[in-house]
Structure 1
Amino acid sequence: MTARRVAAVILVLPLTLAFALGLVAGRLDATLLNPGFVKQQARDLRLYQRLHEDGTRRLVRDTLDHPEKRPANLRVIALPTDRTAEDRVTALVQSFLPQSFVQSETEETIDQLLPWLAGRSDHFTINVSLHDGLVSTFGHPTAGQASTFERTWRDLGMGQRTVLSIARTYDADPANAGKPVPGAPPNIRTVTAAVELRGESAGTW
């Protein structure tokens, strides 16, 4: 190979590489870094619907099956894990995070984040409002009508389950061993037994 050819190769290779990188960067800027393109792809793939329906159900199922993944204050409560419980909790979460919310918040994040990643913006701001979800889940549609949360709480017997978990925690404390249980029959020696004796009325909300 002559010196001229070597020089040509040395010059052409960097230019070819720069050209290829330019094509890739241009393609990325027009596709993956383009908010409009990404949002349209998400809509075409029904991503928001899948997240709201399948994603929520899988998250609920995983949380019910693995107590260690629950918030610390819920780990001691024996949550039901059957299909009915899965359906009720899934509906509750979907009420709190409706599909319209998932889509609007995701697309707002895309609009803020992608320009920053592409270098077209030097900062991004993401604001998430849970006001509507809180109102739809915990609010009362009409006076005297139970909220979505309250109906789910009752359907799953959470009052009884919560009282039982508190009673078991109390009984498990050695400092409480042998203490009398106020209002319980003489043969009832633990708070847990007293709660179980009262049945569902112990957890009435």
Structure 2
Amino acid sequence: MIIGVLAPSAAAQDARTLAVIHAALMAEGIEELERKNGLMRETWGLVDAGATAMLDAQRQGGDLDNLRVREDQLQQLESQLLMRLFEVQRLRREMLTNMAVIEAAGRVTSSQSGSSGVLNGRWTLTVLPGLTGTAFLVQQGTLISGTYELSGGWTGSLRGTLVANKIRLERIDSQLGFAAIFYGELNLGADPDVIQGRWEATQLAAGMASAGGWRAERAD
């Protein structure tokens, strides 16, 4: 076995398993997305009708109490529409994540473990402050792609480069979108292989860290 690279059969088997799991999730996601799209269109129709009725009532000089009731009802429908819009957006992001996993797994399988890529395989992650998880990486030349799962239910895809053992990864989260950039250095002399560095958030959110350290160790 080459140091720093998964055995071909192990990497290919991991890739096939991931592809099957995420293909099933994608099929379920398509059905759920169709259902949620239908609910969103239905709610939009109610909002549109309510807004039109509200405008007509105002033009006709409706009394204040009646207009207030209509406004309350319309705001409830608008809140429901926003909730359903967010659900549809979340499902679309999950679909993209599943597609990224399937594509990455396909590259590993087609290359019979991609023995030229020292990053290929599964890595355990520590993202400070307070997150742990795993990543599955695929390297082709200087290009890196992959997926991750972190504690707290965070999932998504990774993309980046490896040049002279320097790594730059962009974290595309299934909920947050383009969430952070990870900078690190690969050490193949460690046992196991280690990537260590710092990350910076690309968007600021209340209660969430904006930067920190991170470490990845190969999980054989």
**TM-score with structure 2 setting the length:** 0.24
Write 1 or 2 for the structure with the bigger share of strand. Answer: 2
Write 1 or 2 for the structure with the bigger share of helix. Answer: 1
**TM-score with structure 1 setting the length:** 0.26
